[in-house]
Amino acid sequence: ARARLRHELGFEPDDVVFLTAARMHPQKRPLDLVELARRTVDLGRVSFLIVGGGELESSVDAAIAASGARVRRLPFRSDIPDLIVAADVGCLVSDYEGLPVFLLECLQAGRPFLGTDVGDLGRVLTATGAGLVVETPGDLAALELAVRRLVDPATREELAARARAASGRFSVEACAERYAEVWLGAGAGATR
């Protein structure tokens, strides 16, 4: 499925694909992703896939057209889990977040993640070691350095192993047990 979808999307087998699934809204900083793709065009095999729509989609599309970089935007889709499997790295460069479902889906698929240190996004990545965290949203120099690190297959594999190891902490069962403990008291999850 990975090879088929990558082929359908126009990616080569050795491309390193960074996937973002987010609204095209200032909070998510999609124009930073286009600039990041432009700054790393010298790497040759790095591609950015941005999935989502919203108020900034025409600005993002215009920036992509002018960038000369390997970046593509698709409208909202319902097959994000398949796209995660087809990608190599998940990425959110937001100004603020809670706990993004997209991050949890990437961990479940064993994908390393690049994110900003906002909300639980930064906390989860720091606690699990499943990705690289850039302290300040909009710090394109730090994001570029992180992309350059993530091009290395050994780095990606190490972070992917950590993502797979952390994924159980966020399974439906584990989350349900934690909710039961909070709502019903300590040890309640073990008895239900």
Q: What confidence tens digit (pLDDT) does each residue in 68-91 have?
A: 999 999 999 999 999 999 999 999
Within 8 A by CB and 6+ apart from 154, the residues are none
What's the average model confidence in pLDDT over 95-109?
Answer: 94
pLDDT interval class at 58 (50, 70, 90): very high
Residue 192 has pLDDT above 50, yes or no: no
CA-to-CA distance for 160 and 172, rounded, in angstroms? Answer: 20
What's the average model confidence in pLDDT over 140-158?
Answer: 98
Helices (H), 69-118: 80-86, 101-108
**Two tokens, residue 178:** 């934690």
User: Closest Cα to residue 131, out of 141, 121, 144, 142?
Assistant: 121
Calculate the average pLDDT of the chain.
Answer: 93
CA-to-CA distance for 77 and 168, rounded, in angstroms? Answer: 26
Contact 120, 94 (CB under 8 A): no
Neighbours of 44 (CB within 10 A): 12
Within 8 A by CB and 6+ apart from 81, the residues are 105, 109
3-state helix, strand, coil in the chain (%, to 5): 55, 15, 30
118-143 in b/e form (b: 16+ CB < 10 A) is: bbebbebbeebbbbbbbeebebeeeb
| CB-neighbour burial class of residue 83 (10 A; exposed 0-12, middle 13-18, buried 19+) | buried
Within 8 A by CB and 6+ apart from 162, the residues are 112, 128, 129, 130
CA-to-CA distance for 144 and 126, rounded, in angstroms? Answer: 19
Give the model's pLDDT for residue 44. 87
Residue 34 has pLDDT above 90, yes or no: yes
Give the model's pLDDT for residue 174. 73
**Residue type present at position 33:** L
Share of the chain above pLDDT 90, in %: 85
C-alpha 101, offset from chain centre? 10
